[in-house]
Every structure is written in structure tokens, then in C-alpha cells.
Chains A and B, each alone.
Chain A
Amino acid sequence: MCASGAGLHPPLIIYGRVSSVSAYIFLRWVANMEIELQHIHKRFGRVHANNDISLKLHGGRIIGVLGENGAGKSTLMKILSGYQPADSGSILIDGQKAGYHGPQAAIAAGVGMLQQDPLDVPAFTVLENFLYGQPASMTRRAARSDLAKISHEFGFHLDPETPAARISIGQRQQLEIVRLLTLGVRTLILDEPTTGISAQQKTILFDALQALARDQGMTVLLVSHKLEDVIALCDEVVVLRAGCLVGERAMPATKAELVRLMFGQDIAPQERSAGSLGEIVLKLDSLTIQDRRVRVETLSLDVREGEVIGLAGLDGSGQEALMRACVGLTPVVGGNVVLKDRDLTRRSYRERMRAGLAFSAAGRLEEGLVAGLTLTEHMALMDSERTMIDWPGVRDITRRQIERYNVRGRAEDRIEMLSGGNQQRWLMALLPEQPRVMILEQPTRGLDVDSARWVWQLLLDRRAHGTAIIFNSPDLDEIVTYSDRIIVFFAGRFHLIEDASTATVEVLGHLIGGNFEEAAR
């Protein structure tokens, strides 16, 4: 049963500002969509992912959907957008019972969703992906002009002929939004849209969402763990915990208030922490790296034991290239990677791992975890020495790690059964105990505030034993809080901040825009 919420506020109905043009009012009146969820239940085996959720969603508003990892947010959103059927309960659209099955039908009914991971076809061009799902009568030409028009309206940058595989996650999102809008969607659901995108793209996205809600009367549902974003953007929030709806309130609210709503208690903000540095463990010697998107020239860096290096920059500016070059996933054009006097430049990924590097990718189910394997099987993969697998032993370790990382899932669950945040926790749980250097792409991607803190705690524990950490994050706060030194990237150029304690989010924000000269002055 659901515990009674921290404070169940009656839904506050505030209609959006009324535009002066009467025709526009008419349009809004036609277009505003009222959605009501009634007693939605969804179970996965013994997990009650959505437990009797009833909600009214009004048009013209941006509604934040909050809750800890595994609370049931994605599940609820998938039900609303037709990706999953509810076990019971109903969805009313404008008072009518909507009995749609499947995302196409939901889109036809006016509800469209951006998945946590974009679902486009990588081999197709932007235009082809855009055409997908459009009426067959639409010509390429018309599509091209629609695409251009809407992109322009929101300040999106989409080249129709680029393959989807080549554009950034942020652009893939933009593409999906444009596509859904042309399909006539009136309710837009975004599940953690800001996890993979740059600050700049985030600004563009938020402007677009605001325009859609305020000016066009659309309903926007935003699932996010970034409370700053929620505060900046949302008109009201709903909070889930363990499958239940535990709170609803109108904004504004402070971060602390939201945290209390979500976790039922206060969580202290993270303190800046400094560790003691040891010997040089990783030496990057005038490294020149070339990947598909960027070229980084002659970067040299000495990383010491126990040091944390944060990499900042817009998506694809060179920080990923650097991290991947360290582990041998991106080719090095020149220079050397030396780990404790051992030159690893020509070594394979596996050899580098054996030499003491550890790596976790940001792609989760695409790259990092293997959908279809259980948590135990993932753990068994980490022990590459034995021929026969000692299943009971591995299971014990798995259980321990589940407990330690507070993963909502069982050892025998397949990884894709976990919520996004719990998958991330498992990715972290798989990291070896004492590598010399850990290289982490967005280590807290999709984690709620509390687990992000906890995961960092565990990472910093390792640092105390001499492990160095190199990580990146779109969250500048995170970089400022945990780094000893910071490298800021812009289009392959880089700028080293020797003492991270002097850096602020504002300064970093400025730097990632490429204003290195100013900073030098």
C-alpha cells in the first residue's frame, strides 16, 4: 500500500497567460488537452511499479515528474504514451476514455514521448528519420521545408542530410520533438531529456518547451532528476515514490522543498572535498586524438594517485575523445599513454584494463551494459580469469554489490528490467575495487540526488586508496564539487584549471563556450 504522501496538495489549476489575439484563443481552446489518469496499476513480477495512480494533467502547463530512481516515473510515462499497457486503470483524454495500444496510436491521440534513449534509426539521415511515421503522402520536399521551418522556430540545428548516427544526442532529441510536433502531438513527454545534452542545447530545449506550453497550450511532462531544471521550468510537480503518487504541488518551490517531497527528509548539499595526492600514475604525453567529431592536439597531463580530474565541455568537444583514447577505444594519432612507466599506447582495451585502468561508458544499454544478461551475469563477466564460473560465489558478490549500491533489483533480474538510474548504479557497481585509474563517462547520469551523492561517496572512498579518477559530466556543479583539477574543452581545444577550488559554475559555463583567452587574462 502507498504510504500517505508528505503533503497531498489539491491540484492547483492555473491557466496559462491568455494571448491577446482572439483567433489564438480559439486555437488554444481547441487544442488544450485535458488528460486524466485513473487508478493506473502496473506490476512487473513482484514489483508494483505503478500503484493506483490517479492524476489530472492540464494543457498549457509544464509538469515536472519527480521521484527517486525506480519510483515508477518511466513506467507511468510509457503507459501514457502507449509504449506499455497498464495492468488496470484508464486514461481519459478530454473526458473520453482513450483505449490506445502502441505509440503510434498514442501519437494519433495526441500524446508523444521522447524516450530516455532516442529511438531513431542511426543509419538513416535526419530527413529520413523525420519522414518515419509521417503520412505516406508527405513528399521529401514538403518534409524538408517542414523540418526547416520548425527547426528555425525553436532555434534547432538540424541538417537534413546528416545520418542520425553522426548527430549529438541533443540533436537527436530535437529531431524527435520536431517529428512529434508535425504528427500533431498536443502532449509531449520527455523522460530525462537533459542527461546527455550540452548546456547550450539544454537552453534551446527549455526555450522550446516553454514556447510550446505557454504559446501553443501544449501539455509538457518532464521527468528529471535535475531539480534546478525543474525549478526553472515547471508550473507544477508530481512526485512518485515506490510506485505511488506521494505528492503534487504547484511551483515555485525551493530545491530543499522538492528534496523533502521526494525523499521525505532533507539531504545536505555535497561539500567540496580534497584528497591527498600521491605519485604520478598516468602520464599523457602530447597526445593527439582524432575521432569522428573532433581532433584534440598535443594534450599533456600527469595524473597523480588519488587525484580527481573533471572534464567539462559541450557534448563532443573532446572530453569523450580524451577518455576513450586513454582506454584505447579512440585511435591516438600521436603521443603516448603511460601508466606507471608502462607505455600502453599500442595496447588493446583489454590489456589496458588488465594493466589497471577501469572504464565505464555513458551509453548504458547501448554501450556499457548488455540487455538480456542478468545482474549476476554481468558480475560474472568481470572476473575474466577462471574458465568455469563459480555461480554461487558470483551471486554472493552480486548480492553484496546490490546492497552496497542500493540497487532496486534482484541478482537474477535482467539488466533492462531495472530503471534507468538503477542501471547506472549497477554500471558503477561493476567497476573493479582498486584500479589505478578510473575513467568514467557521466558517472551519475540519471541518478537521483541522493544516489548521486552515495555513488560519489563510494568513488571517493577508492580515491582514498590511491585510485585516480577522470570523469566528465554535463553537470558543471558536479565537476566543480568533486574535481581537483578541471580541463575545459571547446571544439578540441582545451584549457586546464590547475586549482578547481577557484572555479565556479559561472566561470565554467563561460569557458565551455570557448572563451579561453578571456579566462587567461
Chain B
Amino acid sequence: MTDNRTPLRILLLIAPIVLSLAITAILVLAVGKNPLEVMTAIWEGAFRNSNAVAGVVNFWIPLTFACLGLVITFTAGLWNIGVEGQMMLGAVFASWAARTLTLPSPVLLPLEIVLAMLGGAFWGFLVGFLRVRLGVNEIFGGVALNALANVLVIYLISGPWQPPEGGSAQSTPPFPAESLLPEISSEFPVSLLALFLIVIIVAAVFLALRGTRWGLNLKATGKNPRSALLLGVPTTQSALSAFVICGAIAGIGGAYRVLFTFDSLRPLPSGGIGFLALLVVLVVANRALLAPIVGFVFAAILAGSTRLRVVLQLDQSLAEVLQGFVVLLVLMANGLRGRILGGPGAESSIQPEPQAQPTVTTAAEATTHE
């Protein structure tokens, strides 16, 4: 659709970012600081040198894994709050392998990843099972399983896996070096293996959602499970598989936290990254290719704000405010786009579309499959 509305489209994409920067700037002024300094601090914090970029990337990696998992459950119309717990179980399973197995790295690392996927998938399965078999809403089930996962982590840290000098509930002893993901270099301490996995999984999720019957089943289930069933979609199976696959992918994110970010299992290893990922997915909806990009912007703002806090001694919540506005305004712009460009949001005053904006997906599909 190349019409005179293209500039409008672009405007609607940029406007929310600019606007949220502006609002944040006003807030910064209100607390008596210089907005330019704030933005500078965030920028420098994120991109000053390769080490700073590595800091961003190391936060971005687990975030992106969580996002990619969530893109799947989002497509199936499910709010997988339980992604936190799924990451934690990934961390626990990977930790078990790292502590227990004495194997050379090339064997051990893949094994840890696979186990992490199993752990996450298992926890995802539980949420799904509660949902499809017992009718427990996935939000409630997810919250409960998140708490349970953290109880398990703290039990392990302060119990069976405590350090020899006694449990302090802070961490297990560090894992042996060969069980940890190696870094590219000390200038750019990031795991190459993880980057590689992200590329693979982005591609896999993208293709699965677009080109497979399974992906289409998820989409149909997400939009109208009742109709989907009548059209021959195994809807419960679809929902369950969405949870399992999401859990498996998020589990890798959890493993990354313990095998790279830390070198041991710590309380709440997922650190709320799953919740942040939910925000990202709110923005990207079911577009797997966008998830890493939007995730990167979020990671940069947040990781960059470490410097903001040190340099300007400003509260970190400022970065969270900025990010909150980005999400809010992007969502608003999406609604507006629907209205102005006659997308699905056009009649949203009557029946709000559950989908943030399927327009782009469908258009992309239509053109690429020709």
C-alpha cells in the first residue's frame, strides 16, 4: 500500500518516542535537573565503549529470549505472566547441570541449554495444564508458579546447594569455569553462543508463526478459539504447546543469567526481566522480528540508566518512567493508526481489537508469499 499516507505512518511511529522523551524531559526539569544531561548519561551509559555496549547486550540477551517466547503465547492470545517462573526454572535446571556434571565445555554447554529449555518448558506446561484442563486463568496460574519457582530457588540456595561456609541465601558457590558461557573478549564480554542462539530462535519463531500450520493454529486460537475449533484447529493443544515452547525459549534466558551474568544461582535469577518482556511484547505484538529491536531500545535505556544513577545521582525510576511512556504512547499511536488508516482499530469504539495491530503482519505476509 504505497499511498500518500506513508509519511503519516512514519510520523505515527516516531511521534511516541519523541513525545515520551519530551515528557521525561519535563519531568527531569521538574526535579531540577538538566534533561540533556540525563539523556547524555543514558546514552553514554549504554554506548560509551564496547564494555558499556556489552552491559546492554548482556541485559538484552535474556530479555530477548523472554520476548521471543512471549511472542508465541501472545499470538495464541495468552497472557503468560508465568514467563518469570519459566526463566527461573531454566536457571535452576542449567545450574543443576553446571554444578553436578563434570564434562568438557563443548558437551556441557549445549547440555545446560537443553536442560534449561526442558525446565522452562516444564514450568510452561504447568501453567498451560492449569489453564486448559482445570480452567485456571493463566495469569493467576502464572503468578502462583512464579512465586513457587522463587521459593524453589531460595530453598536450593539456602539448603542443598548452599556454599560450604554456610547458607546466606545470597548465592550458590560459583560454578566451575568450564560450565560457564565463554565471553567473546574482555573488551566485549558477551557470549557468542547466546547471540548465535538468538539469531536461530528469532528466525525459527518468525518462520514458525508465518509458515507453519502450527503458527496459524496459534493465531486463530488467539483471535477466536471458538471459531478456530470449528475450523478444525486443536485449540487446547495449540494453547498448551504455546506455553511449552514459550517456556523452553524463556528457559534459555534464565540459563544465561546464571551461566553468564552471574556465575552461580542467585535469588530471583529472572529479576523481573520476564515482566519487562511482557511490556516489549505489548508493543511488538506478534512480530518476532521486531522483538529484538524494541527489546534493544528498552535494554539500552535501562542499562544506560545505571550511569544516570551514578553520575546524576538520580533515581532509576526515571528510566522506568521514560520506558513506561514509550510503551503507553506507542500503544496509543497504534490505536490511532488503526483509526486514521482504516485498520482494525477503526471501529474500536465498539469492539476493541485484542490484537495491537495485525495490519503490518498481514501486509507483510501478503507480499512475501506472492
Contacts and interface: CB of A to CB of B under 8 A. Distances in A.
User: CB atoms of A and B under 8 A apart anywhere in the complex?
Assistant: yes
Interface of A: 44-45, 78, 83-84, 102-103, 115, 119, 329, 349-350, 353, 359-361, 363, 365-374, 377-378, 380-384, 386-389, 391-392, 395, 412, 414, 416, 430
Nearest to A378: B231
B232 A103 contact: no
Given A389-B213, A412-B366, A103 B350 contact: yes
B223 A371 contact: yes
B91 to A, nearest CB: 32
Nearest to B224: A370
Interface stretch (B275-283, B293-301, B340-348): B340-348
A84 B212 contact: no
B213 A370 contact: no
A361 to B, nearest CB: 6
Interface stretch (B34-42, B136-144, B214-222, B244-252): B214-222
B219 A373 contact: yes
B50 interface: no
Contact of A392 (B1, B233, B353, B369): B369
Contacts of B212: 387-389
A84 B346 CA distance: 8
Nearest to B353: A372
B216 A381 contact: yes
B223 A388 contact: no
Contact of A83 (B219, B342, B349, B353): B349
B358 interface: yes
B234 interface: yes
B211 A119 contact: no
26 contacts: A44-B342, A78-B347, A83-B347, A359-B230, A361-B227, A366-B224, A368-B230, A370-B224, A370-B231, A372-B223, A372-B355, A372-B358, A373-B220, A373-B223, A374-B366, A381-B217, A381-B232, A382-B231, A387-B214, A388-B211, A388-B213, A389-B211, A389-B216, A391-B211, A391-B365, A392-B370
Contact of B229 (A349, A365, A383): A349
Interface in B179-233: 211-214, 216-217, 219-220, 223-224, 226-233
B122 to A, nearest CB: 24
Contacts of B219: 372-373, 377
Contacts of A387: 212-214
Max chain A C-beta neighbours (<10 A), residue from B228, B233, B342, B347: B342
Contacts of A382: 231-232
Given A119-B350, A380-B213, A370 B366 contact: no
Given A350-B234, A380-B216, A387-B212, A83 B350 contact: yes
A382 B351 CA distance: 27
A350 B230 contact: no
B211 A381 contact: no
B213 A368 contact: no
A207 B240 CA distance: 51
A103 B231 contact: no
B342 A45 contact: yes
Chain B, interface SS category: helix
B362 interface: yes
B220 A381 contact: yes
Max chain B C-beta neighbours (<10 A), residue from A78, A361, A381: A381
B230 A377 contact: no
B213 A384 contact: yes
B362 A374 contact: yes
Given A44-B342, A386-B213, 17 more contacts: A119-B350, A359-B230, A363-B226, A365-B224, A366-B226, A366-B227, A368-B227, A368-B230, A370-B231, A372-B224, A380-B213, A384-B213, A389-B212, A389-B213, A392-B370, A414-B362, A430-B231
Contacts of A392: 369-370
Contacts of A430: 231
A395 B370 CA distance: 9
Interface in B322-370: 342, 344, 346-347, 349-351, 353, 355, 358, 362-363, 365-366, 369-370
B230 A367 contact: yes
B226 A367 contact: yes
A389 B208 CA distance: 10
Contacts of A388: 211-213
Contacts of B365: 374, 391, 412
Nearest to A117: B351
Interface in B222-275: 223-224, 226-234
A45 B1 CA distance: 9
B1 A370 contact: no
Nearest to B368: A391
A373 B227 CA distance: 11
A-B CB proximity, top 9 nearest: A391-B369, A412-B366, A372-B223, A370-B224, A370-B227, A381-B231, A370-B220, A370-B223, A367-B226
A416 B223 CA distance: 12
A201 to B, nearest CB: 24
A84 B350 CA distance: 10
A395 B227 contact: no
Nearest to B343: A414
Contacts of B349: 83, 102-103
A179 to B, nearest CB: 15
Contacts of A45: 1, 342
A85 to B, nearest CB: 9
A336 B349 CA distance: 46
Contacts of A367: 226-227, 230
Contacts of B231: 370, 378, 381-382, 430
Nearest to B234: A350
Given A350-B232, A371-B224, A414 B216 contact: no
A369 B227 contact: yes
A384 B232 contact: yes
Contacts of B366: 374, 412
A426 to B, nearest CB: 12
A395 B365 CA distance: 12
Contacts of A366: 224, 226-227
A329 B227 CA distance: 12
A361 B228 CA distance: 12
Contacts of B355: 372
B342 to A, nearest CB: 6
Interface in B283-322: none
A353 B224 contact: no
Contacts of A370: 220, 223-224, 227-228, 231
B213 A395 contact: no
A115 B350 CA distance: 10
A353 B232 contact: yes
A186 B213 CA distance: 50
Nearest to A348: B234
Nearest to B219: A373
Contacts of B217: 381
Contact of A416 (B228, B229, B344): B344
A108 to B, nearest CB: 14
A6 to B, nearest CB: 31
A410 to B, nearest CB: 9
Contacts of B226: 363, 366-367
A486 to B, nearest CB: 25
B113 to A, nearest CB: 24
Nearest to B229: A349
A412 B346 CA distance: 18
A360 B233 CA distance: 14
Contacts of B347: 78, 83-84
Contacts of A361: 227, 230
Max chain A C-beta neighbours (<10 A), residue from B224, B231, B358: B231
Interface in B11-38: none
